[in-house]
Structure 1
Amino acid sequence: MEEGSVEAAFDVADLVGHRYRVDDFYEVGREKIREYARAVQDFHPAHWSEGAAEELGYTGLIAPTTFLSTVAMLANRRLLGTVMSGYDMFVQTDQVFEMYQPVRTGDRLVSDVELSAVRRVAGKDLLTITNTFSDRSGAVVQIMHTTVVGITGDDVDADIGDMVERVIMSGLDATTPATSAPADDTDSVAAVHLSSIARARAPRTALRFEDIAVGDELPARTARLTRGDLVNYAGVSGDANPIHWHAEVAALAGLPDVIAHGMLTMGLGAGFVTGWLGDPGALIRYGVRLSNYTVIEAAATGSVEFTGRVKSVDPEGRSAVVVIVAKSAGRKVFGLATADVRLA
């Protein structure tokens, strides 16, 4: 197994720059937005009511900040399952969302996938996957950078593969249709331009820039999670990893019990910030480094407590950076989390 690990690390480093475009577009559905908003407990009216979204200047429902992570799950399946098949599983460590245009009902988005970086830290491979989502005009709507640790058989119980095969959802082996591009082909990248809509539109936030100052604290929020919430999120998001809903698999992976999805916790954190803002489209960058996990026991409800404060302000851009803290059972779940926001 050790030889396999060395080979995987070597091969994946050679693949930096490998990219492809998913052949089919993803059409954002009205009910899918509501379904995802429910899964991340984000009840901002703009995710649920066309009238409320229209009051903020949006045509159609606007998707929650982390919504496109569900599309990335589909787009990345080919990269993780075939190109990077030397790993037994992946564990997420960092996530960055760059928002250039709100995602709304009816949008048809094209996904470009790239293995953009590989680092070797403490004997582990840290792999960064960049997803670029563009609209029909070719304008970039959102860019997402996901960093995961590639886990080999050396790091988990030898029986985990057989167990996963017995409990995993069916139909996940379908390869995402894609058109591959050679690593040195930059034409498709050069043809794409960043949309300026999110940064150019006048935000309609509940607070004005003059109302905030460095050090201001956001109203705290506690989110409750049950095993049912995790199962629901797994289905809605497409993240089928059984460590989030099957205690025996979690134990074989070396975990104390079933744990919440990192992206679920991030979705809760994004809603915490946009609820304070009052305008979901005013959050233009969201970055999270995961430092711990949220354990969800079968017989008890888990919780994540969110707090935040204004770290810095930019009078010229009428913007601010918010630092977010997430804790569960006294442990920090986010190692570092920030949100760049614009204010009216």
Structure 2
Amino acid sequence: MAQPETAAVAQQTELAGRRFQVRDHYEVGREKVREFARAIQNDHPAHRRETEARRLGYEGLIAPPTFSSVIGMTSTQALLDSVLTDYDLSQVLQTDQVFELHQPILAGDRIQTEIVIDSLRQFGDNDFIHIKFVLRNQRGEIVQIGSSTIVARRGAEVDSNLVQAVDSIFMYVRPADLDETSALIELPADPNALTVPPRETVPVHTVLDFDALTPGTALPAGSARLTRGDLANYAGVSGDPNPIHFSDRAAELVGLPTVVAHGMLTMGLAAEYLTSWLGDPTAIEKFSVRFSGFVPVAADAATTVEFSGKLKSLDAETRTGTIMLSGSAEGRKLFGRALAEVRFA
């Protein structure tokens, strides 16, 4: 006789495969591109000046490789508000992030987002939710696809002290800011919904001599400096309001030694490390990170984040390569795995 379906299996069956479109498009602002580039310390001039973007073949400012995290933050919040309602934002942790960049996001683009809850797996008290997304511009062209894995405790009882602390620190949302219309439109389930055509090959303008590169080549060491001001700035620019990134009390209540940097901020810094070596932000075709540590940032001192990398492989026919990245802060390893697939001129 078949066994009754457990609540866990029932939830997985209900959520896995559900597909949504974000109701409104996201319009990429020229100044937003500049603000985001400053916030993640991405210094390539094509993020700031149209003349430099045109030199790379684009008419508008080029958004940094991880810019879609701003768009994704809104989509994730909409899922938590209307679909994943058993979870609390204060109990959600991001573990993996993948960006596949088909073409750059440019200032002036109007981005439409589609989301699929790919899977939900339960291990002990934790739920691992894998979400895929595709971003299309105003011409219907795919600019980026990717995925994110978040870990959360379903129905977990939240510490009352944390609730009070978060209520006192979290960004206040006025009633007028709330829209009764759902931010998401549910679409019919389709296992092929996020199947995309191959990426079109467009010229890149890297500064390296491809023929001089070999597997095992080490990238020059790099570093970035983070202060509490950088964290507060990134929280505002990215729309990530989690108070563990600016409040010592909130960090303490979730067991952290101090305020910590956003995972997506450290990924953005790593993107700058790659871009500074390549010379062209559009040369990054895929960037994936599994987060394993955090960057502590004290109230009265800056923290240095250190990066290194090594060419894992090269393909002479396609002039592409795979780079393994490492990051650390105060002796703590930041990435369990970090890989970038890049193309050379």
What is the TM-score when the length of structure 1 is the normalising length? 0.91
Task: Give per-residue Cα distances to partners, 1:264-287, cap 9 Å, x unaligned.
Answer: 000000111011101111100000
Query: Structure 2 matches for 1:321-336, cutoff 5 A?
Result: 321-336=322-337
Query: Structure 2 matches for 1:1-344, cutoff 5 A?
Result: 11=11, 14-88=14-88, 89-151=91-153, 154=156, 157-171=159-173, 174=178, 177-184=183-190, 189=193, 193-194=196-197, 196-197=199-200, 200-344=201-345
2:127 touches 2:154 (CA, 8 Å); kept in 1? no
Change (3 A) 1:90 1:12: farther
Q: After TM superposition, give the deviation of residue 76 of structure 1 in Å.
A: 2.2
Q: Tell me which amino acid in the other structure corresponds to 2:224.
A: A
Distance 2:9 2:171 in 1: 28
Distance 1:290 1:130 in 2: 18
Q: After TM superposition, give the deviation of residue 12 of structure 1 in Å.
A: 5.0
Q: Which residue of 1 aligns with 2:3?
A: none
What CA RMSD, in Å, does the superposition of the two structures yield over aligned residues? Answer: 2.1
Q: Tell me which amino acid in the other structure corresponds to 2:313.
A: S
2:12 touches 2:121 (CA, 8 Å); kept in 1? no
Q: After TM superposition, give the deviation of residue 154 of structure 1 in Å.
A: 4.8
Change (3 A) 1:142 1:65: same
Task: Give per-residue Cα distances to partners, 1:18-68, cap 9 Å, x unaligned.
Answer: 121112211111111100000000111111111111111121111101001
Q: After TM superposition, give the deviation of residue 150 of structure 1 in Å.
A: 0.7
3-state SS of the aligned residue for 1:228? Answer: helix
**Identity over aligned pairs, percent:** 44
1:138 touches 1:193 (CA, 8 Å); kept in 2? no
Change (3 A) 1:177 1:276: same
2:86 touches 2:155 (CA, 8 Å); kept in 1? no
1:95 touches 1:288 (CA, 8 Å); kept in 2? yes
Distance 2:9 2:45 in 1: 46
Distance 1:124 1:62 in 2: 38
Q: After TM superposition, give the deviation of residue 196 of structure 1 in Å.
A: 3.0
Q: After TM superposition, give the deviation of residue 13 of structure 1 in Å.
A: 5.1
Distance 2:328 2:196 in 1: 38
Distance 1:13 1:235 in 2: 36
3-state SS of the aligned residue for 1:159? Answer: helix
2:221 touches 2:309 (CA, 8 Å); kept in 1? yes
Task: Give per-residue Cα distances to partners, 1:156-196, cap 9 Å, x unaligned.
Answer: 6342122212211122874662221133486xx37x85473
Q: Tell me which amino acid in the other structure corresponds to 1:180.
A: E
Q: After TM superposition, give the deviation of residue 11 of structure 1 in Å.
A: 2.6
Unaligned runs of 5+ in 1: 1-5
Change (3 A) 1:104 1:117: same
Q: After TM superposition, give the deviation of residue 14 of structure 1 in Å.
A: 2.4
Distance 1:42 1:7 in 2: 45
Q: After TM superposition, give the deviation of residue 99 of structure 1 in Å.
A: 0.6
Distance 1:9 1:124 in 2: 14
Q: Tell me which amino acid in the other structure corresponds to 2:244.
A: I
3-state SS of the aligned residue for 1:248? Answer: helix
Distance 1:55 1:283 in 2: 17
Distance 1:283 1:185 in 2: 28
Distance 2:57 2:242 in 1: 38
Distance 1:51 1:244 in 2: 36
Q: After TM superposition, give the deviation of residue 121 of structure 1 in Å.
A: 3.1
